[in-house]
Structure 1
Amino acid sequence: MTNATDARSSALTGLAAVLVAGGAALVSVATGAWQPAPATLTAWSLALAGYVLVYVLDAELLVRRPLLPRVPAAPLLLLLGLAVWFLAPGLSWMATLFVVTAASWTTVVGRGGLVALVAVQSVAVAVGMVLGGADVGIVLALTGTFASFQAFAVAVITIAEREAAGRAELDRAHSRLRATHEELRAAHAELRAATALLSASSRDAERLRIARDLHDGVGHQLTALALELEIAGHLAEGEAARHVARARAVAKDLLGEVRATVSALREEPHRLAETLRELLGDLPGLEVALAVEVPEPPAQDVALAVGRAVQEIATNTLRHAGARRLDVAVVQDDDGALTVRAHDDGRGSPAVVPGNGLTGMAERVGALGGRVAVESAPGEGFTVTVTVPRAPGEVRPGARALTVGRAGAGRDVGRVAP
């Protein structure tokens, strides 16, 4: 069947057909239309009751799994159905049991076995009616009718089973496609994050290279020029001495400006807000609200740790949260520490099990003396809080860099202005 409800409905239909046929036989006994010997009636009743019992245990009517293995159940249904039929061959409508049996066998044997079953039960119908004294025309008509009913039942159930298998395969394909899509979303986020962090690192490296070149090249040359002009000032006299003095003063001023420029380049703050905007910008299927309130620029290693943490948070949200919105706030505490608070509106989890990503984030932050806290509850999303000291601190022995727990998500972060 296409689903559990269809399978249960079909099983109930088969059971109803058996009970109606059996009830009609009992009505015949009550009205005197069928007057079997007491022993025959007892045997027939036991056979029919056994058929109903086996059918119920096999058809998943009580629970959603067969209570009787289908391999022994199928032959039992055939034997009990034959017993019911041959004990009262005059009750032609009891051949309905053969149709129900044929439908039950579709999940047990292949096409060849089903053809053999229909043939055996059709022969049984013909033999029973001959034994019951029916004329040839009625025997042929009813045998052909019930053979057609069996074939039709087998065809319908087989088609339904194939449709169910096709639907199941299609569902699996959709699941694989969704998983692939989620992987692509996460990979896209990771690529954007890596690009943003690499760009920031490249800018820092280029800035430091320029500072070194100014110091080692221009700075040294100006220092040498100032020394030469000082020597020339001692040797020159009159008007020439005044020009040399002015040139020496200009050289000293230039050297001071170069040193100031080198210091400024070396101490230029890491543009954290710009980096985070590049990192979180245009994530597929996820609305991101970012707020950065850091009055003083952080050190480069602190800014890098914060960037990596935000990257991991965004990747986990895309991979696992099933969220539509992610709120990220970066603030500087009174003691100068940077705190990242992130919350998504995803499905949440009753228990947070740290994977490689969270563990790596905690190790990176812990190396700077910081800590990571993760909180979640079903239906309340994930809340991640990352705290990094402004200056890398000493890691206390035994200190835990990662803590997980259950809490009301969203209370610390809420919605922040983008």
Structure 2
Amino acid sequence: MADSQLERWGAASLLAVCALIGVPVLLAAERPTTGPPWVWWSCYLGLIALFVLGFRETPPERAVRGLLLPGLALTGAATVLLAPRAGYTAILLVFVTAYAAHLGSRRAVLALLLANSTVAAAAAALAVSTVMEVVLTWLLYAMLQLCTVWAVRSEQREAAARRRLAAANTDLRAATALLAESSRAGERLRIARELHDLLGHQLTALVLELEVASHRGDPAARKHVERARGLARELLGDVRTAVGELRTGTPDLRLALAEVVAELPHPRVHLDVDGGLEPDEACTAALIRCVQEAVTNTIRHSGAANLWIEVARSGDGGIVLTARDDGRGAAALRLGHGLTGIRERVAQLGGAVSFDTRSGFTLRARVPAP
């Protein structure tokens, strides 16, 4: 199951538990709330609405986050204190602390943990509990929140490690693809030289020898010598053609890019490479680096679920690479070393690169025809 699916199921489960907590209040024979019921229901439904808002945008923008966490803390505390005898409402405070652990700093989470534990103890005191029960309630909810924060932080560290591993794996695959293509190009050049230096010279000598032999000997043998000389010339032409193809052979761009994005668990990569593209080695290396940077940028920064990579031929015969993800994007783009390097690499080929962060992240690189 993909990480995004697990997150959706986790959010749905949490919201379902929050909804179930309101059932005892709704079905209680006696009014369990302090004050008018509509006040409690307003706080309770407001808390659920804030949870929905938080799960809809993960992670929220800074402005939303600045209002979301205090809103969750206040509505959670009001929901518990306005229904101290409802029984399970204090569980909502654990959920608030767990959500804050995803976004807040350590100090903010610690302060919220202590405040929520105090709210749970106050609710127990309002429910006419003994001093021992109030103290145990404070300790119980403090421990529950500590365990929740520890679990959230552990999951965050594991997710960050997975992202780093995926980015490193992408870099390694890109380097492997470039090295393999360089090795293949070197091997093709070596074979072309061997064919030219050995077979080419030998066949040329054979043609000359047959040329001399055709002017000597009896007429019956001359016919066979002429035929052999024609075959030798055809073979020499075939060797020269093979040498030329080996020297100018183009790499398989689709195979190289597929190797870069292979076995990537997250995000899901959709690769589309037009058939018939014949970039040279320098162009292939630039396109591989562009795809590598797009993939690692998506893994590290965008939080996207999908990445679409398309390589197509432009109207003037050049090659256009478009990489687009469905991540959160950014209000302003800051070019790091990776994006700057991509722009410089493509510029050396006479091409251009553009970036767009308004809706997700989009990289568009155009290289001229080789």
Q: Deviations over 1:152-202 (max 9, x none)?
A: 877765676566555544433332211111111222223333333333333
Written as runs of structure 1 = structure 2, the 5 A alignment for 1:130-141 is none
Q: In the aligned structure 2, how far is the partner of 1:202 from the partner of 1:13?
A: 67
Q: Secondary structure at the match of 1:210?
A: helix
TM-fit CA distance, 1:274: 2.7
TM-fit CA distance, 1:373: 1.2
TM-score w.r.t. structure 2 length? 0.61
Q: Is the 8 A contact 1:2 1:163 kept in 2?
A: no
Written as runs of structure 1 = structure 2, the 5 A alignment for 1:278-293 is 278-293=259-274
Q: In the aligned structure 2, how far is the partner of 1:6 from the partner of 1:290?
A: 46
Q: In the aligned structure 1, how far is the partner of 2:259 from the partner of 2:138?
A: 57
Q: Which residue number corresponds to residue 381 of structure 1?
A: 360
- Unaligned runs of 5+ residues in structure 1 are 19-148, 392-418
Letter in 2 for 1:307: I
Letter in 1 for 2:233: K
Q: 1:297 to 1:14 in 2, by over 3 A?
A: closer
Q: In the aligned structure 2, how far is the partner of 1:249 from the partner of 1:11?
A: 101
Q: Deviations over 1:346-396 (max 9, x none)?
A: 12122222222212212211211222211113xx310111111123xxxxx
Q: Deviations over 1:249-272 (max 9, x none)?
A: 221111111112222222333222
Letter in 1 for 2:306: R
Q: In the aligned structure 2, how far is the partner of 1:300 from the partner of 1:285?
A: 29
- Say if 2:152 is the partner of 1:197: no
Q: Is the 8 A contact 1:2 1:167 kept in 2?
A: no
Written as runs of structure 1 = structure 2, the 5 A alignment for 1:40-119 is none
Q: In the aligned structure 2, how far is the partner of 1:178 from the partner of 1:287?
A: 16
Q: Deviations over 1:1-28 (max 9, x none)?
A: 986556445656899999xxxxxxxxxx
Q: In the aligned structure 1, how far is the partner of 2:308 from the partner of 2:109?
A: 42
For the pair shown, the structure with the greater C-alpha radius of gyration is 1
- Say if 2:325 is the partner of 1:365: no
- Say if 2:238 is the partner of 1:242: no
Q: In the aligned structure 2, how far is the partner of 1:280 from the partner of 1:349?
A: 24
Q: In the aligned structure 2, how far is the partner of 1:318 from the partner of 1:381?
A: 12
Q: Secondary structure at the match of 2:214?
A: helix
Q: In the aligned structure 2, how far is the partner of 1:234 from the partner of 1:351?
A: 81
Q: 1:164 to 1:218 in 2, by over 3 A?
A: same
Q: 2:198 aligns with which of 206, 217, 229?
A: 217
Letter in 1 for 2:169: H
Q: 1:301 to 1:9 in 2, by over 3 A?
A: closer
Measured on the aligned residues, the alpha-carbon RMSD in Å equals 3.4
Q: 1:268 aligns with which of 219, 241, 249?
A: 249
- Unaligned runs of 5+ residues in structure 2 are 1-107
Q: Secondary structure at the match of 1:323?
A: coil
Q: Deviations over 1:245-296 (max 9, x none)?
A: 3322221111111112222222333222232233323321222222223645
Q: 1:322 to 1:248 in 2, by over 3 A?
A: same
Q: Is the 8 A contact 1:275 1:307 kept in 2?
A: yes
Letter in 1 for 2:343: A
Q: Secondary structure at the match of 1:302?
A: helix
Q: 1:340 to 1:296 in 2, by over 3 A?
A: closer
Q: Deviations over 1:113-156 (max 9, x none)?
A: xxxxxxxxxxxxxxxxxxxxxxxxxxxxxxxxxxxx88887776
Q: 1:12 to 1:306 in 2, by over 3 A?
A: closer
Q: Is the 8 A contact 2:267 2:304 kept in 1?
A: yes
Give the length in aligned residue pairs.
Answer: 261
Identity of counterpart residues, as a percentage?
42
Q: In the aligned structure 2, how far is the partner of 1:329 from the partner of 1:264?
A: 28
Letter in 2 for 1:244: V
Q: Which residue number corresponds to residue 350 of structure 1?
A: 331
TM-score w.r.t. structure 1 length? 0.54
Written as runs of structure 1 = structure 2, the 5 A alignment for 1:2-17 is 7-8=114-115
Letter in 2 for 1:317: T
